[in-house]
Chain A
Amino acid sequence: MQKDLTHGEPVKQPVLLVEGVSYYYGEKQALDDVSFKVYPGRVTALLGPNGAGKTTLFSLITRLFDAPTGNIEIDGLSPSKVGSRALGPLGVVFQQPTLDLDLTVRQNLRYFASLRGLKRKEADERMARALDALDMKERIGEKVRSLNGGHRRRVEIARAILHDPSLLLLDEPTIGLDNPTRMAIVAHIHNLARESNIGVLWATHLFDEIEPEDDLLVLNRGRIVARGLAKAVVAETGAKDLGDAFKRLTDTAEEGVAA
């Protein structure tokens, strides 16, 4: 099931290109010849059980460490060739919370804005817009420590889009959140992709976070075992829903959670 993800639409330049990437931890292979593209305005769900290689893939894309084989390009720039400059168009929400708990929401966002080279005034305007869109504007002066998990996640999403990225990476951003909060974040990200033309790569193992029209990559034991529109993957596996398709593709039904 090796397909391109353009669905017959005019071919756009991908915001993320991953070609033939393999990775080993010592003798253990974490990624095996992984290739895919993420297009602007599209949400690409990266679905895989625990240990499939999702976090390793994210670490390579974000250049926490370099990919020894294959090629990764963000908006046409390869981090292994041009270094950290390639990370400019990238916004990331990591699986692990990464806000400074002892600083306020404003201080956290200003810190990030400064790392992205934004002017104070411009940063403050963008902060207000991003937090407003996530119903967090009123909490800007509060210390992150006083926010609940869902609100912290919203601040992290606001932070990730502060510099108008063209590619947004989300590594299981809804882990530990209640259902209404999760679904609100899912809806917000889908709107964001459509309205701001951002390409989104969303790693998850929760089936209900994936919409039928999303692009889907199923990663299992370091290999991509299926790709295409989510609804097409379900249809082609002859499954009754995504959970069933995932089970057929990975034989690890218990790993995926239809929360």
Chain B
Amino acid sequence: MSAIHLARAFNGIVSREMFRFLQQRERFLAALVRPLIWLVVFAAGFRAALGVNIQPPYETYITYQVYITPGLLAMIQLFNGMQSSLSMVYDREMGSMRVLLTTPLPRWFLLFSRLFGSVIVSLFQVYAFLGVAYLFGVEMPPIGYLTVMPALILAGMMFGALGMLISSTIKQLENFAGVMNFVIFPMFFASSALYPLWKMKEGSEILYEICIWNPFTYAVELIRFALYAQVNWQALGIVAGCALVFLALSVWAYDPSRGIQQRKAGAGAAA
């Protein structure tokens, strides 16, 4: 196995994710409409009711739409991560995952490539949303559109790895919708996506503690700071750490000698 082989395989896996995404126009539309409803309907209503004081990375008063935009970007990536894991469960049920796993390449590399493909797809969705949000008056510093990209890649990796880990534990495609709702909505609501943490603390100490332990909070803050060309080091450390842990657990779960796959295969593969 040479570096050229790895590069070709990486390119093939990422291209396949792109092709599949381009075939699914509804998925792209949903990825845009969902956060747009939050931005246009929810945030417009809350704009008057909710004051956001000046806190880093903001140096002046901002509108509520501007405040929730990083959370919506993270939400797009979380949905995409879950969708990607749904597609892994689908691939496993349909059998195409076997084609991937029976190639002469290390399993960690195959899973990482697949994960990276899904992150690239999420970047298209995020930038399309930022473009639409701009039309609705949500402007970021011009440099922010560039500096946010590494944060998006890292956050996308964390959500994708989480989705991959979840996909290794899902036995049937039908169970996935419930799991998605169980993961996405608690993560989104119990974070700093909709309200600053200090406001959360005023409302409920318990909820504040949950937000502090929620990795989604740090993905949001990482993106928020990166949009203003700043680094939130704590968020960076936590997001990178979580991404590594989730990815390591996924590789473990898909490992042929130790993982979950063979326990799951028991029912069907005895044939």
Known A84-B107, A100-B20, A103-B16; judge A62-B270 contact (CB<8 A). no
Cβ distance B113 to chain A, nearest Cβ, rounded Å: 10
Does B19 reach chain A (CB closer than 8 Å)?
yes
Does A43 reach chain B (CB closer than 8 Å)?
no
A59 in contact with B265 (CB, 8 Å): yes
A115 in contact with B105 (CB, 8 Å): yes
A114 in contact with B12 (CB, 8 Å): yes
What residue of chain A has the Cβ atom nearest to residue B16's Cβ? A111
A140-187: which residues lie under 8 A (CB-CB) from chain B? 159
B9 in contact with A98 (CB, 8 Å): no
B100 in contact with A62 (CB, 8 Å): no
Known A51-B271, A118-B8; judge A99-B266 contact (CB<8 A). no
B223-271: which residues lie under 8 A (CB-CB) from chain A? 256-257, 259, 261-262, 265-271
Which stretch in A32-40, A87-95, A193-201, A210-218 binds the other chain? A87-95
Cα of A52 to Cα of B19 in the assembled complex, Å = 39
B94 in contact with A50 (CB, 8 Å): no
Cα of A103 to Cα of B98 in the assembled complex, Å = 17
Chain B positions within 8 Å of A25 at CB level: 265-267, 269-270
Cβ distance B54 to chain A, nearest Cβ, rounded Å: 48
Chain B positions within 8 Å of A98 at CB level: 94-96, 98-99
Chain A positions within 8 Å of B181 at CB level: none
Q: Among the interface residues A85, A92, A114, A159, which one has the most CB atoms of the partner chain B within 10 A?
A: A114
Known A25-B266, A26-B266, A103-B20; judge A116-B103 contact (CB<8 A). yes
Which stretch in A2-10, A13-21, A63-71, A225-233 binds the other chain? A63-71
A65 in contact with B257 (CB, 8 Å): yes
Cβ distance B2 to chain A, nearest Cβ, rounded Å: 7
Cβ distance B266 to chain A, nearest Cβ, rounded Å: 4
Chain B positions within 8 Å of A92 at CB level: 98-99, 102
Known A54-B271, A100-B16; judge A85-B1 contact (CB<8 A). yes
Does B53 reach chain A (CB closer than 8 Å)?
no
Query: Interface size bucket, B side?
Result: 35 or more
B19 in contact with A87 (CB, 8 Å): no
Cα of A119 to Cα of B107 in the assembled complex, Å = 22
B102 in contact with A117 (CB, 8 Å): no
A73-126: which residues lie under 8 A (CB-CB) from chain B? 80, 83-88, 90, 92, 94, 96-100, 102-103, 107, 110-119
Query: Interface size bucket, A side?
Result: 35 or more
Chain A positions within 8 Å of B261 at CB level: 64-65
What residue of chain B has the Cβ atom nearest to residue A119's Cβ? B8
Q: Among the interface residues B20, B107, B271, which one has the most CB atoms of the partner chain A within 10 A?
A: B271
Does B106 reach chain A (CB closer than 8 Å)?
yes
A65 in contact with B256 (CB, 8 Å): yes
Does A256 reach chain B (CB closer than 8 Å)?
no
Chain B positions within 8 Å of A220 at CB level: none
Known A56-B269, A85-B1, A100-B20; judge A64-B104 contact (CB<8 A). no
Does A30 reach chain B (CB closer than 8 Å)?
yes
Chain A positions within 8 Å of B265 at CB level: 25, 59, 64-65
Query: Which of B19, B95, B106 touches A107 (beta carbons < 8 Å)?
Result: B19
B98 in contact with A117 (CB, 8 Å): no
Does A41 reach chain B (CB closer than 8 Å)?
no
Cβ distance B134 to chain A, nearest Cβ, rounded Å: 32
A110 in contact with B12 (CB, 8 Å): yes
Known A54-B271, A56-B269, A98-B94; judge A63-B102 contact (CB<8 A). yes
Does B13 reach chain A (CB closer than 8 Å)?
yes
Cα of A26 to Cα of B270 in the assembled complex, Å = 11
B150-183: which residues lie under 8 A (CB-CB) from chain A? none
Chain B positions within 8 Å of A107 at CB level: 16, 19
Cβ distance B46 to chain A, nearest Cβ, rounded Å: 39
A115 in contact with B100 (CB, 8 Å): yes
Chain B positions within 8 Å of A83 at CB level: 106
Cα of A103 to Cα of B23 in the assembled complex, Å = 8
Query: Which of A80, A114, A159 touches B9 (beta carbons < 8 Å)?
Result: A114
Chain A positions within 8 Å of B96 at CB level: 98-100
Known A25-B266, A50-B271, A66-B256; judge A86-B104 contact (CB<8 A). yes
B102 in contact with A85 (CB, 8 Å): no
Known A84-B103, A97-B94; judge A53-B270 contact (CB<8 A). yes
CB pairs A–B below 8 angstroms (19 shown) = A52-B271, A53-B270, A56-B270, A64-B262, A66-B257, A83-B106, A85-B1, A87-B104, A90-B102, A92-B98, A92-B99, A97-B94, A102-B19, A102-B20, A102-B24, A114-B11, A114-B12, A117-B1, A117-B5
Instruction: Given contact pairs A115-B12, A117-B5, enumerate 15 new A-B contacts (beta carbons under 8 Å).
Output: A25-B267, A25-B269, A25-B270, A50-B271, A56-B271, A62-B102, A64-B256, A64-B262, A88-B104, A100-B16, A100-B20, A114-B13, A115-B9, A115-B100, A116-B104
